[in-house]
Structure 1
Amino acid sequence: MELRLRTLLVLAVAAALAVATGWLFGLPELTALSTALFGAAVVSWVWLGTAAPPPSVRAHLSRPSVQRGEPSDLVLGFTNTGTRRSSPATFTGSLGTAGSRRLAVGALEAGEVSEVRMQLDTPHRGVVSFGPLEVVGRDPLGIWRRSRQEPLEAILTVRPRVHGVPGLLEQEVLHTGDDERATAPRAALESDTDLVGLRPYVPGDDLRRVHWRTSARRGEPHVVQVEPSARSAPVVVVLDTRASAVNPAEFELSVEAAASALVAASDLGRPLHLATATGFLGSTPEQRRRHRPESPSLTLDTALDALAAVTQHPGGDLTVALADAAVGMSTVILCSEAVGPHLPELPARVLWLHWHDTGLTTGTTGGHARSATAGAG
């Protein structure tokens, strides 16, 4: 109980003064009243000190991860874990997007559970935490109080909205290992491996890949060189996080574009990577320093959770980030609302996903859009 000794001493001194005043001035009523009040305070103190503690509280979210604008229900469960009837208490603290709340919970029987459910609005992207709650119990007279902090472990992840982008990866720019680019329909690259060319045989090569006609013509063994097919090539989504390039509202549009690109790639079973103007998300410090997508691919949930928490930064080099993302056979998608001098010249193999009028549009250069547009619904 808070301040119980100091408060008790104050009450004792006040009661003693009142008794002395009543005795000196012949006021027995004052003496009796002060004695009764002091006795009631002592009884209340003893009652609160021996009463069962208030119930414990646990938080549960009906949907721990939602898109911006989608609701989620917060359920607070109050449980009397003791063997006696719990004392009434108030629970005060932050409940995420519901703001600061004060909840009064009555006495609960042993083992009894009481639930409070409230709907949470999600107007903004981000990671929302809850609590801690201050649990306060009081005596019947309201003189004494005891309190404790009760943490809430629930976390609400508000992800960016996702929009459909038909045909985003139906026709894509692929890296073939040299400085040239190759544009190929995705449906035409459905084998496990794609033919790249021929090269001289080296010990250890699979003999089944020997191209006998070429070997006979050139007088030495040559094997078929293959690379993984386009359908298994990674998709690297590069989000423009430069605060100097776009304002906060435009940045939110770029984040939604990035989420849409990740979902589209995941639907095709493509490995996912996510990068910003400052490096790759989910990579080690060494990999981030080298700006190489060598870390294991991200799951869609991990990537969307990262977008829920991503923020703009004052620094970063988008040109370097794009060049470093375009390695191997990866498909690179830039999500940026930057225009003019803030948008660098894009490598030929980079797709630019941005908003145009009311939909998302893709293009290979800043001024030439391709036919992949989605509504903003």
Structure 2
Amino acid sequence: MPTRAGWTVATAAITAIVAGRLLGLVEMYVLGGVALALVVVAVLSVRRRLPQLEVERTLVPARVHRGGDSHVDLVVVNEGRRRTQLLSLHDPVEGTVGAHVSLAPLDPGSTQTARYTLPTQRRGLLHIGPLQARFVDPFGLASRRREVAGRTHLTVLPSIEILDRLPEVVGVDDPLEGSSRPTAGPPGGGEFATLRGYVPGDDLRRVHWPSSARAGDLLVRLEDPLWQGHMTLVLEARATRISSDDFEHAVTGAASIVHAVSRAGDRIRLVVTDGTDSGSVDARAARETLLEMLAVVDTVDSDGPLPRPPLDGRRGTGALVLITGRLTPEDAEELDAAGTHYGSVLVITLDRATGASAEDSFLDDFPGIAVASFGTDEPFARAWNRYARQGRR
């Protein structure tokens, strides 16, 4: 169809034809006719069989931490027998005007490459595409669009801050007391603590096939070394407990803790109060899966009670960590009830004012819950490392 310039020329041509006819000016009449014919020829030229283009679009990398560098590489190959016209590529990118790339005409079999950067300041899925090629005639009077690549997305993972250590929050089973959970199977290398549903990232060699056949779903053995630390990390997502701005700080904190636990080679269970539950997994093996979970999590409009952290059969071992905006008496009661199954319970409250006290009078009734208030105007790692040096209060 005509471009903006094409419509302008066509309008001017029709005006010239009418004026030339009314005023008896042959030159104007002829000039208008030539201009109108030029627009018609331009439209017909782009309506011919379109060139055969092969377009490869690659995201490098396809997953990036918030604020990192990511770009799109385009490789355009003319697989037809004719030289292409002027090419203009437009790739919609969520939250932006999209990427525009102009390419010179391509000879048969020739290749052109292009690159553009992607915004990574917002955590989540960045939707891209579909990529469209715009074919324009040499005079720029007419164009035609065609989709040459579908939709894709960039996964923007939460940013990670390096934590110096995990202060009294990753507990281990006491081997002198034996296993603290019911076990199945003979003792020795084949012993496992329990079964849970399969999640992406699990080793398929740990699938317990007889139980999976009976349940109709994949079940994985939890072969948990006695000395391996384990943490249940609860991320608050209820909008009544945490603001959207503070939630981003909380997600960064959760991702940083996941990274720290994976470096330590321990186990972790990530629970989000929107109903998401990773199950108990080896943090090192499931690190990327857990970070992808955190990449897409968002606050929910819910004022329900704090979901009681799932129990894994342990008693008095491991750690329970809650990251929230504010702690209420009702939430404290739920944590206190679940805390008997853990070696330690830590609540991290986020406050806009650094160092603002999270201590309320009701906390005196829950001596087993440690509360640390982190300001959101400083990096999560700085507050965490300071708490680690000071120890549990």
TM-score of the pair, normalised by structure 1? 0.66
Distance 1:42 1:66, change over 3 A: closer
Distance 1:47 1:275 in 2: 59
User: Aligned runs of 1:25-174 on 2, under 5 Å?
Assistant: 26-50=24-48, 52-53=50-51, 55-96=53-94, 99-168=97-166, 172-173=170-171
AA at the equivalent of 1:344: A
More strand by share: 1
1:222 equivalent in structure 2? none
- SS of structure 2 residue aligned to 1:127: strand
Q: Return the match for 2:253 from 250, 257, 267.
A: 257
Q: Structure 1 vs Structure 2: percent identity of aligned residues?
A: 22
1:296-348 CA-to-partner distances (Å, cap 9, x unmatched) read 998211110110110011226554332xx233238453332333426524333
2:242 equivalent in structure 1? 246
Distance 1:121 1:260 in 2: 22
Distance 2:347 2:69 in 1: 28
The structural deviation recorded for 1:170 is 6.4
Distance 2:162 2:311 in 1: 24
Distance 1:157 1:96 in 2: 12
* More displaced 10-residue stretch of structure 1: 261-270 or 45-54: 45-54
Tell me, yes or no, if the aligned pair for 1:80 and 1:86 is still in contact at 8 Å. Answer: yes
TM-score of the pair, normalised by structure 2? 0.64
The structural deviation recorded for 1:234 is 5.4
AA at the equivalent of 1:44: A
The structural deviation recorded for 1:38 is 4.0
Distance 2:47 2:148 in 1: 19
AA at the equivalent of 2:301: P
Tell me, yes or no, if the aligned pair for 1:91 and 1:104 is still in contact at 8 Å. Answer: yes
1:195 equivalent in structure 2? 178
The structural deviation recorded for 1:109 is 1.8
The structural deviation recorded for 1:121 is 4.2
Tell me, yes or no, if the aligned pair for 2:57 and 2:149 is still in contact at 8 Å. Answer: no
User: Aligned runs of 1:199-348 on 2, under 5 Å?
Assistant: 228-232=224-228, 235-281=231-277, 293=279, 299-315=286-302, 317=304, 319-322=306-309, 325-329=310-314, 331-341=318-328, 343-345=331-333, 346-347=335-336, 348=339
Tell me, yes or no, if the aligned pair for 1:278 and 1:321 is still in contact at 8 Å. Answer: no
Distance 1:99 1:142 in 2: 22
Tell me, yes or no, if the aligned pair for 1:80 and 1:111 is still in contact at 8 Å. Answer: yes
1:285 equivalent in structure 2? none
- SS of structure 2 residue aligned to 1:148: strand
* More displaced 10-residue stretch of structure 1: 227-236 or 301-310: 227-236
1:60-104 CA-to-partner distances (Å, cap 9, x unmatched) read 222222222222222233332323211112223433566433322
- SS of structure 2 residue aligned to 1:374: helix
Distance 1:89 1:114, change over 3 A: same
Distance 2:82 2:123 in 1: 44
Distance 1:25 1:249, change over 3 A: closer
1:219 equivalent in structure 2? none
1:374 equivalent in structure 2? 385
1:157-184 CA-to-partner distances (Å, cap 9, x unmatched) read 121122333442766446xxxxxxx7x5
Distance 2:276 2:36 in 1: 68
Tell me, yes or no, if the aligned pair for 1:41 and 1:143 is still in contact at 8 Å. Answer: yes
Distance 1:114 1:247, change over 3 A: same
- SS of structure 1 residue aligned to 2:47: helix
Distance 1:163 1:206, change over 3 A: closer
Distance 1:33 1:47 in 2: 21
The structural deviation recorded for 1:277 is 1.4
Tell me, yes or no, if the aligned pair for 1:96 and 1:128 is still in contact at 8 Å. Answer: yes
* Aligned residue pair count: 311
Distance 1:94 1:45, change over 3 A: closer
Distance 1:41 1:296, change over 3 A: same
Tell me, yes or no, if the aligned pair for 1:51 and 1:86 is still in contact at 8 Å. Answer: no
Tell me, yes or no, if the aligned pair for 1:265 and 1:272 is still in contact at 8 Å. Answer: yes
RMSD over equivalenced CA pairs, Å: 4.2
- SS of structure 2 residue aligned to 1:142: coil
Distance 2:25 2:265 in 1: 90
AA at the equivalent of 1:246: I
Unaligned runs of 5+ in 1: 175-181, 208-226, 283-292
AA at the equivalent of 2:178: L
- SS of structure 1 residue aligned to 2:234: strand
